[in-house]
């Protein structure tokens, strides 16, 4: 008999069972599950679901460690073509809904307007979060992670701190990083940086398969003598790979191969294995995150045998927020309605989870020490966090030796 084919939904279903432990049995005796957690159910979303649930399980463990019961949760699989309203057709007595990571904000804005339910947005970082400010019902939408703009700001700060105050910016229009290039330019210029461009726009779009366009940019870069180039492409992307090869050969940049220096707008995971080059490279070391990251990272690594990412941290914080929502009767809004997130005070000093649960039971407001952000939560607005950027590995030993000789000569 042949072995049956693997089912893509099986892995996350099993992980969900691990996450909630005996919740399925316990909740069967509970007449109402007032918290709904929605997870994407497309086959391609398996990695995303698993990562979120891994973090969620660590968050649940911290709740148990404080001696508190876990809230009953109704888990819902949401297909890409489904509206969340299909799973919540009536107002009912739901306290809060957790949207899937990278959810369609328009669909959950409609949910808040139709049912008046508050929605947690555990992981929204890309272009979708930019639509938040224009959505109706945003007063009930609660993002848990910082915007990717915080990462760009940290990269700008590190670039200027390195003394790289004059740059050209080039983007492969087909890369994800291209969407961040204008944001980088805006913050770079606002902070005193000078962007060189021989076009009507500061970001020069270069398709690496267009030899004529690439040659034009190469000449612009040489003519400008800019000491820095911001490369909006993956380190192993076609544009970055071609420019890197040409700079090594002395064919790109006024001071090749030693200059220009490079700034990447890529995710830190993409920057871990940069090729060795003679010039300096700068980029994001870690994205914006909260003060409780280290404790979370240690717990996650012990449990799962690998390092977490911001998506896992979002799952971790989500579990803890849900415990706080259900730890005491809900606060009441100024309009006299139950407010599941009314206990959040973004201006208070952050406290650990056990203290937060005690404050919550005493009817007090609080700010939780979180992993994914500083937990300065406000409806319709992203929280902040601390991102770190700086010089990266991948500078050749020959260049470092040359820099060392120069430093010795300067101090001798």
Interval 106-149: pLDDT, tens = 999 999 998 889 999 999 987 777 778 788 888 999 999 999 99
Task: Kindly tell me if the per-residue pLDDT of 261 is higher than 80.
Answer: yes
Q: Provide the pLDDT confidence category of residue 403 given band limits of 50, 70 and 90.
A: very low
CATH number for position 226: 3.40.50
Crossing angle between the packed helical segments 46-65 and 293-304, to the nearest 10 degrees: 110
**Does 250 lie in the same domain as 209?**
yes
DSSP string, 1-30: -PPPPPPHHHHHHHHHHHHHTTHHHHHTT-
Does the pLDDT at position 364 exceed 90? yes
Sign of the dihedral defined by the CA atoms of residues 207, 208, 211, 214, in that order: positive
Residue 408 DSSP label: H
Report yes or no on 250 lying in a domain: yes
Residues 90 and 174 in one domain: no
pLDDT value, residue 91: 63
What tokens appear for 357 in the block? Answer: 């649960």
Contact 348, 374 (CB under 8 A): no
Omega before residue 362 within 30° of 0, cis:
no
Q: How far apart are CA 283 and CA 391, in angstroms?
A: 7
Assign 51 a pLDDT band (cuts: 50, 70, 90): very high
Query: Does residue 136 share a domain with residue 24?
Result: yes
Q: Are 214 and 151 in contact (CB under 8 A)?
A: no
Given pLDDT bands bounded at 50, 70 and 90, which one contains residue 216? very high
* Total number of domains in the chain: 2
Residue 283 main-chain phi, psi, to 5 deg: -175, -170
Alpha carbons 245 and 253: distance in angstroms, whole number: 12
Structure tokens at 285: 């070391």
The domain boundary residue, chosen from 230, 246, 279: 279
| Last residue in a domain, options 224, 254, 279 | 279
Mean pLDDT of 81-109: 88
Q: Residue 4: CB partners within 8 Å, gap ≥ 6?
A: none
For residue 331, what is the domain's CATH number? 3.40.50.2300
Per the listing, tokens 């294995």 go with 273
Residue 30, pLDDT above cutoff 80:
no
Query: For the segment 337-363, what is each residue's pLDDT rounded down to a tens digit?
Result: 899 999 999 999 999 999 999 999 999
Q: Residue 230's pLDDT is what?
A: 98
| Band of residue 27 on the pLDDT scale cut at 50, 70, 90 | very low
Confidence of residue 401 (pLDDT cuts 50, 70, 90): very low
Cis peptide before 257 (omega within 30 of 0): yes
pLDDT at 7 over 60: no
* pLDDT tens digits, one per residue of 191-207: 999 999 999 999 999 99
- Is the Cα torsion angle 224, 225, 227, 228 positive or negative in sign? positive
- Give the model's pLDDT for residue 19: 52
Domain containing 201 equals 163-279
Any residues with CB less than 8 A from the CB of 117 and at least 6 apart, and which? 88, 91, 94, 96, 97, 111, 140
- The percent of residues in the chain predicted with pLDDT above 90, rounded, is 76
Token pair, residue 400, equals: 């470092």
Residue 213 placed within a domain: yes
What residues have CB less than 8 Å from 346, skipping those under 6 apart? 367, 375, 376, 377, 378, 383
Ranges 65-69, 101-105, 363-367: which has the least confidence:
101-105
Both 138 and 17 in a single domain? yes
User: Strands, DSSP E only, in 58-117?
Assistant: 73-78, 96-98
- For residue 21, the number of C-alpha atoms closer than 13 Å in the C-beta half-sphere is 13
- Between 46-60, 79-93, 387-401, the lowest mean confidence (pLDDT) is in 387-401
Which pLDDT belongs to residue 15? 57
Model pLDDT for residues 265-284, shown as the tens digit of each residue: 999 999 999 999 999 999 99
Residues 307 and 271 in one domain: no
Q: Specify the pLDDT at position 374.
A: 98
298 and 372 fall within a common domain? yes
Q: What is the dihedral of CA 270, 273, 277, 279, to 10 degrees?
A: 50
| The pLDDT of residue 77 | 95
What one-character DSSP code corresponds to residue 169? Answer: E
Question: Residue 174: which H helix or E strand, with range?
Answer: none
Distance of CA 320 to the CA centre of its chain: 19
Mean pLDDT of 380-384: 94
Q: How far apart are CA 162 and CA 230, in angstroms?
A: 14
Q: Residue 239: which residues within 8 A CB-CB, separation 6 or more?
A: 170, 171, 172, 175, 206, 208, 231, 233
pLDDT at 24 (0 to 100): 40
47 with 140, same domain: the answer is yes
Per the CB < 8 A criterion, the answer to whether 98 and 37 are in contact is yes
- pLDDT tier at 52 (50, 70, 90 boundaries)? very high
* C-alpha to C-alpha distances, 114 to 108, 119, 332, 374, nearest whole angstrom: 10, 12, 20, 31
Q: For residue 41, is pLDDT > 60?
A: yes
């Amino acid at each position: 008999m042949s072995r049956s084919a693997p089912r893509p939904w099986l892995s996350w279903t099993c992980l969900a069972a691990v996450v909630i432990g005996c919740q399925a049995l316990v909740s069967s005796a509970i007449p109402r599950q007032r918290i709904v957690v929605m997870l994407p159910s497309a086959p391609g979303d398996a990695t995303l679901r698993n990562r979120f649930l891994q973090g969620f399980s660590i968050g649940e463990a911290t709740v148990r460690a404080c001696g508190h019961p876990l809230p009953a949760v109704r888990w819902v699989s949401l297909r890409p073509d489904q509206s969340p309203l299909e799973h919540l057709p009536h107002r009912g007595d739901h306290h809060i809904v957790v949207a899937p990571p990278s959810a369609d904000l328009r669909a959950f804005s409609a949910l808040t307007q139709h049912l008046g339910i508050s929605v947690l947005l555990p992981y929204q970082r890309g272009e979708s979060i930019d639509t938040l400010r224009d959505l109706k019902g945003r007063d009930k939408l609660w993002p848990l992670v910082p915007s990717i703009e915080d990462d760009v700001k940290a990269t700008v700060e590190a670039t200027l701190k390195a003394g790289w105050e004059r740059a050209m910016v080039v983007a492969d229009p087909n890369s994800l990083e291209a969407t961040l290039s204008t944001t980088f330019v805006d913050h770079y210029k606002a902070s005193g940086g000078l962007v060189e461009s021989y076009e009507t726009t500061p970001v020069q779009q270069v398709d690496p398969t267009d030899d004529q366009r690439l040659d034009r940019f190469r000449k612009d870069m040489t003519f400008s003598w800019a000491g820095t180039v911001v490369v909006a492409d993956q380190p192993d992307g076609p544009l970055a790979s071609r420019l890197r090869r040409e700079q090594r050969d002395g064919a790109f940049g006024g001071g090749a191969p030693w200059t220009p220096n490079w700034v990447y707008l890529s995710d830190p995971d993409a920057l871990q294995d940069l090729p060795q080059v003679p010039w300096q490279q700068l980029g994001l070391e870690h994205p914006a995150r909260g003060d409780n990251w280290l404790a979370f990272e240690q717990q996650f690594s012990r449990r799962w045998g690998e390092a977490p990412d911001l998506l896992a941290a979002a799952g971790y914080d989500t579990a803890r927020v849900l415990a706080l929502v259900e730890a005491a009767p809900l606060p009441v809004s100024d309009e006299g309605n139950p407010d599941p997130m009314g206990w959040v005070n973004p201006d208070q000093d952050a406290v650990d989870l056990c203290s937060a649960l005690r404050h919550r039971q005493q009817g007090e407001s609080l700010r939780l020490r979180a992993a994914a952000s500083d937990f300065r939560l406000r409806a319709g607005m992203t929280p902040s966090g601390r991102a770190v950027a700086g010089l990266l590995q991948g500078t050749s030993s020959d260049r470092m030796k040359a820099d060392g000789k120069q430093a010795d000569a300067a101090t001798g």
